[in-house]
């Protein structure tokens, strides 16, 4: 039986029995609740990498809520990233190096010279379809945030069936929250930030969480989860698809029990659970039936947030509809080509309704492929983003809406719009020749142009201003006002620069919004 002392739990969760040390005179050394760390100074930025925020989730700790990280003696070397979490590989793992089931670490970038007052903190949650990605991907280097007076944190969380799993044997074991182990990891990392970030010069009362794709979904879930209350002060969601469905845990349990049977594991007793925990991690991240991508699975078997009744109690859009979201400053937006590749435009357009001619005209100017791209993008991202800021505005919460349509000049004749995830290098102000995931292909952008740098400077400045003050308009450039239902305003980052737009795609938005609300009424 696993035993953990009350004192160790208090240290890991930041309950105050052991306080994190203050920043030392040496910029590359800090002391956190579990011990001393030595980072690496690079000019005006110091980075601390591979910091354990929880115990390795291996052996008997597989499919359990994260336990406290063990304290260490001496000074721990924090010069290198920890291992990324086990994953399937492929485009969703671009930039990921060594992987391991022992992966619950985070990274901190800070100014090398202490500030006169505590600095705002940004915590980045990576994307990757809940099956890939890592906080150590080069694109997520936080140096530019640190240079602009923000402490930036990136983290790893369990992926695939190691992070999303339900089974009758786990339910019978009854060892705490079930199913959403990825979310438990993220909450544990945020608790670590609350307990320890002051040691790096950060203000635990001014934490902004931000993420893209699966990371965007994550921040929306955290915004609406009762378990995350008080762990952050602001939220930025990039391509977070707030109308996504979430299966109930009972349905996932059935699917995962069926998966276990394909591996010869049946029953719901302790023996079955022991057998499941003994499976190689590589087996669990490869999915079932030889499938290597989440799209090859049905919804119940695909790793994704599930409604477990404790951590996640409702869909994100339902939470906003009922007024259950945290009432804190919120920025959200998506890209102009979220659809990626569409293999069968007719199958997509059939979802829009029986009036094909109207759909073609409204979404694609008569072009079926263009219409399919726009329908997938607008129904999955653009309209849901508008919906949640409208709900925030109705209850007086400051919400800010953006639309990213910028494509580097070299690719404007190649792709139909700004692909999913293509905004990230601009947000991080890392507009240089780096691998970028565009649609279904990873490419290397050419050397950045003055136009690219201008968009990167603008986006990064707005994100930094929001983290500091809760208002992006203090970044300079076009004023970015909170969303207003009457003016239907947003900021577009496009080929013509940064501009305020009103009633963008209103006919499409109204049509899709009415359709979504009709579906919600039937749930």
Q: Are 123 and 193 in contact (CB under 8 A)?
A: yes
Of the candidates 420, 422, 423, 460, the residue annotated as catalytic is: 420
Interior angle at CA 357, CA 355 and CA 363, nearest 5: 100
Question: Where are the alpha helices (H) located in 132-180, listed in sequence order?
Answer: 143-147, 160-163, 168-173
Kind plus residue range of the DSSP H or E element containing 209: strand 202-212
Q: Are 310 and 304 in contact (CB under 8 A)?
A: no
- Dist. CA 436–CA 116, nearest whole Å: 37
Of the candidates 213, 286, 379, 422, the residue annotated as catalytic is: 213
To which residue do tokens 């979220």 refer? 338
Residue 154 designated active-site: no
Residue 350 designated active-site: no
Kind plus residue range of the DSSP H or E element containing 455: helix 450-469
Q: Are 56 and 12 in contact (CB under 8 A)?
A: no
- Dist. CA 323–CA 202, nearest whole Å: 31
Of the candidates 338, 383, 423, 492, the residue annotated as catalytic is: 338
Sequence-distant (≥ 6) Cβ neighbours of residue 55 within 8 angstroms: 12, 61, 66, 67, 68, 69, 70, 104
Residue 173 designated active-site: no
Residue of 17, 147, 162, 140 lying closest to 87 (CA atoms): 162
Dihedral in degrees, nearest 10, Cα atoms 486, 488, 490, 492: -140
Sign of CA dihedral 451, 454, 458, 463: positive
**Strand, helix or coil at 319?**
helix
Half-sphere CA count of 170, side-chain side, radius 13 A: 27
Q: What DSSP character marks residue 92?
A: G
Sequence-distant (≥ 6) Cβ neighbours of residue 113 within 8 angstroms: 27, 44
Interior angle at CA 490, CA 486 and CA 493, nearest 5: 165
Residue of 241, 224, 235 lying closest to 180 (CA atoms): 224
SS (H, E, C) 357-379: HHHHHHHHCCCHHHHHHHHHHHH
Paired tokens of 324:
């259950």
- Dist. CA 159–CA 85, nearest whole Å: 7
Paired tokens of 403:
């639309």
- Dist. CA 518–CA 338, nearest whole Å: 24
Kind plus residue range of the DSSP H or E element containing 273: helix 270-278
Strand pairing class (330-335; 399-404): parallel
**Strand, helix or coil at 384?**
helix
- Dist. CA 155–CA 150, nearest whole Å: 16
Looking at the annotation, which residues are catalytic? 213, 338, 420
């Amino acid at each position: 039986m696993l035993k953990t002392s009350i004192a160790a739990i208090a240290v890991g969760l930041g309950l105050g029995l052991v306080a994190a040390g203050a920043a030392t005179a040496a910029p590359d050394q800090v002391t956190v609740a579990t011990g001393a760390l030595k980072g690496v100074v690079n000019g005006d930025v110091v980075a601390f990498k591979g910091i354990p925020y929880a115990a390795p989730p291996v052996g008997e700790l597989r499919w359990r809520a994260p336990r406290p990280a063990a304290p260490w003696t001496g000074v721990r070397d924090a010069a290198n990233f920890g291992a990324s979490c086990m994953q399937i590989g492929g485009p969703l793992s671009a930039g990921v190096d060594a992987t391991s089931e022992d992966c619950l670490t985070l990274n901190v970038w800070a100014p090398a010279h202490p500030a006169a007052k505590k600095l705002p903190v940004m915590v980045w949650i990576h994307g990757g379809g809940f099956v890939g990605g890592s906080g150590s991907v080069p694109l997520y280097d936080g140096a530019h945030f640190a240079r602009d007076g923000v402490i930036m944190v990136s983290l790893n969380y369990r992926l695939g069936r190691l992070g999303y799993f339900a089974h009758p044997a786990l339910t019978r074991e009854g060892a705490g929250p079930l199913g959403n182990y990825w979310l438990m990891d993220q909450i544990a990392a945020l608790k670590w930030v609350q307990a320890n970030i002051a040691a790096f010069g950060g203000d635990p009362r001014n934490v902004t969480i931000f993420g893209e794709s699966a990371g965007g979904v994550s921040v929306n879930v955290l915004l609406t989860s009762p378990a995350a209350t008080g762990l952050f002060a602001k939220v930025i969601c990039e391509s977070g698809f707030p109308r996504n469905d979430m299966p109930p845990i009972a349905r996932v349990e059935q699917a995962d029990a069926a998966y276990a049977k394909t591996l010869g594991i049946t029953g719901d007793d302790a023996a079955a659970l022991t057998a499941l925990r003994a499976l190689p991690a590589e087996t669990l991240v490869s999915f079932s039936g030889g499938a290597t991508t989440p799209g090859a699975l049905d919804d119940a078997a695909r790793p994704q947030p599930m409604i477990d009744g404790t951590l996640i109690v409702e869909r994100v859009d339902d939470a906003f509809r009922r007024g259950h979201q945290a009432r804190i400053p919120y920025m959200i937006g998506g890209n102009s080509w979220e659809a990626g590749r569409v293999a069968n435009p007719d199958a997509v357009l059939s979802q829009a309704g029986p009036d094909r001619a109207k759909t073609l005209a409204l979404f694609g100017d008569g072009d079926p492929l263009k219409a399919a791209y726009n329908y997938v993008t607008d129904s999955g991202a653009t309209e849901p983003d508008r919906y949640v800021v409208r709900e925030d505005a109705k209850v007086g919460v400051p919400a800010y809406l953006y639309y990213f349509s910028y494509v580097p000049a070299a690719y404007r004749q190649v792709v139909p719009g700004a692909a999913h995830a293509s905004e990230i290098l601009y947000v991080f102000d890392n507009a240089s020749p780096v691998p970028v995931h565009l649609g279904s292909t990873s490419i290397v952008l050419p050397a950045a142009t003055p136009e690219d740098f201008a968009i990167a400077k603008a986006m990064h400045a707005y994100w930094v201003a929001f983290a500091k003050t809760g208002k992006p308009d203090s970044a300079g450039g076009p004023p970015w006002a909170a969303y207003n239902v009457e003016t239907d305003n947003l900021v577009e980052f496009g080929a013509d620069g940064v501009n305020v737009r009103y009633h963008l795609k209103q006919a499409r938005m109204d049509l899709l919004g009415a359709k979504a609300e009709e579906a919600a009424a039937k749930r």
